Amino acid sequence: MRTKPLELKSWLREYRWFMLLEGLLAASIFFVDLSMELGVAGGVLYVSLVLVALCARQKRYIWGAALLGTTLTVLGYWLSPPGGEFWKVAVNRSLSILLIWGTAIFCYLFKLNEEGLEEVHVQLEQQFKKLAKKDAELEFANRQLEGKITERTQKLQATNLFLEQEVRKNIQAQKELQNTHLRLTTIVNAAGVGVYGLDLDGITTFSNSSGAAMMGYGIEEMVGKNQHELVHHSRPDGSPYPKEECFIYSAFTLGASYRVRDEVFWRKDGTSFPAEYISSPLYEDGVLVGAVVTFKDISAQKHIERERETLLSDLESMNVELKSFAYVVSHDLKEPLRGIIYNSKWLTQDYGETLGEKGKEYLERLNHNTERMYHLINGLLQFSEVGNIRELSTPVRSGSLVEGVIRCLPPAGDIEIEIQGPMPEVVYPPIRLEQVFQNLIANGIKHFGKQKGKVVVSCADIEGFWLFEVWDNGQGIRPQHFDKIFEMFQSLDRRKSSDSTGIGLALVKKIVEQNGGKIQVESEFGSFTRFRFTVPKVV
């Protein structure tokens, strides 16, 4: 049996002497090994280190001694005087190492067995103590048994009284449940929703009055009858509807819920009405026993849907006519404008000296307003095309697209345009994405309001979207104008330059929203303007 643990100082003292003994023994054997030729199996002596470690209290010293012996055996091979054939030396050293570790394993197992016996002895002592304690507890329990019997009798009497009260409460709860069921039935009937139940054979087990009335039957006429043969026997076109294909039956054959709104129920008089129904499996104590069906007459909804489809068809026809009208009108308007523009330029070139300064000023004003009208018509055409023309979304390298837009812009003086960071590939109508960047970058340059600055285009990855940003450090926009700038014909440029139509940002907003994104502006007047818009990621 192991003695109780020594105090800390005693343990350190024992540990110090043990390590000293191991060190002296290892040094002695090492010097002996160095004094012998390689061919002599001096490494076997290191087994004594492992045997000495067996006396230590902890098993890890055995492995430490084995590791020390192995290390010294290898060092002895390198430091001992030469002698003997190589294979003999190698075999002797290898066998010495194997003997060291074999002895270590044996000692470790011996130590484990010793500790196991000690633990068994300790456990037996603990069991004896527990048995003695149990005997004492049993004697104490016997002494208290009579008192507990009396106490339990009193508790049983109290429990019986409690149970009587619970029975009365349960009776009251059943009455309330019946009243609740009655209220729910009244509510369902008032809502015009039909409810009936089926067993596993498709036989109607119950029905509410609203459901029976919708189909022209009395409740007693439905209960006990095959529901499918009674009200669901045919499709909307009058062809037979096999019950094997019926979703109502699937609820209790497959154990799943189904919602259907493109079928009809048949009344007692042979007429039908469009119905929307939900068929759900019915379980009792975890066992599938049938299905519950809730349904309603959707004749009014169907009528509204037909009217809606008619209105949509009419609207589509009107859009086609409006589109044709827009193209015709724009063509008829643009042709005279081109003539005015060219003629005014020719007049200026050919008769500039004759017209004088006042005449030149009038012609320049005419040319300026005509070009503005021309750009305005082009902007209206672009705005009307968005959403009215079916456009194919294709993979677009946004970085290359922005570079192309920048190259096509007129010189911006000392305003630098920069693409910052990587730009992703997106799925978008290419022309529309080009229009978005062209208008945002051009807008930043046009309304910069400073001699020198920068316009930066960048992109960030947010959940489910790409977030594009066009930032400039120009004059900025006042907060009261944030909503106004996205409206048609709204421009903050008081100079009314020829290409400022007030349509650009309205066009950008429409393109972004038509393609599932959002756009917003952030600005500090006199400091910067930042436009951000999102593009959905497409897998």
**Domain containing 280 — which CATH number?**
3.30.450.20
Whether residue 135 is found in the same domain as residue 125: yes
- CATH code for the domain in which residue 529 is found: 3.30.565.10
CB neighbour list of residue 31: distance below 8 Å, 6 or more residues apart: none
Q: Are 535 and 428 in contact (CB under 8 A)?
A: yes
Calpha distance 99→73 (Å, rounded): 12
Integer Cα distance of 263 and 250 in angstroms = 15
Whether residues 322 and 370 share a domain: the answer is yes
Q: Do 150 and 237 belong together in one domain? A: no
List, run by run, the mean pLDDT of 10-residue segments along the chain (539 residues): 48 62 76 68 72 74 79 75 68 77 81 73 75 75 76 80 81 72 56 84 91 91 92 92 91 89 92 93 91 91 88 76 64 68 74 72 72 64 60 90 89 86 93 90 84 92 94 87 74 52 82 92 90 90
Residue where one domain finishes, among candidates 190, 224, 254:
190
Q: How far, in Å, CA of 233 to CA of 227, rounded?
A: 9
Position 497 scores a pLDDT of: 47
Query: Which residue segment(s) compose the domain that 490 sits in?
Result: 392-536
* 94 and 175 both lie in a single domain: yes
pLDDT value at position 1?
43
- In angstroms, the CA 303 to CA 510 distance is 33
Q: What is the pLDDT of residue 330?
A: 61
* Angstrom distance (rounded) from CA 26 to CA 18: 12
The whole-number pLDDT of residue 163 equals: 79
Same-domain pairing of 186 and 199: no
What is the Cα–Cα distance from 271 to 22, expressed in whole angstroms?
107
pLDDT of residue 164: 80
- Residue 383 tokens, joined: 């705005």
Our measurement of the distance from residue 525's CA atom to the centroid of its chain's CA atoms, rounded to an integer in Å, reads: 38
Q: Phi and psi at residue 287, in whole multiples of 5°?
A: -110, 130
pLDDT at residue number 3: 47
Closest by CA position to 289, among listed 333, 242, 255, 241: 255
> Domain check: are 129 and 238 in the same one?
no
Q: Give phi and psi for 246, each to the nearest 5.
A: -80, 130
| pLDDT for position 463 | 87
Q: What's the CA gap between 471 and 520, in Å, rounded?
A: 12
**Do 357 and 475 fall into the same domain?**
no
Give residue 319's pLDDT: 67
317 shares a domain with 201 = no
* Same domain as 122, residue 9: yes
Three-state DSSP class for 224?
A: coil
pLDDT at 168 (0 to 100): 81
6 torsion bin: left (phi>0), alpha (psi -120 to 50), beta (else): beta
The last residue of one of the domains, among 385, 403, 435, is: 385
On whether both 176 and 33 belong to a single domain, the answer is: yes
Nearest 5°: the CA angle 181, 186, 189 is: 120
Q: Which among 338, 358, 385 is the end of a domain?
A: 385
d(CA 32, CA 40) in angstroms, rounded, equals: 11
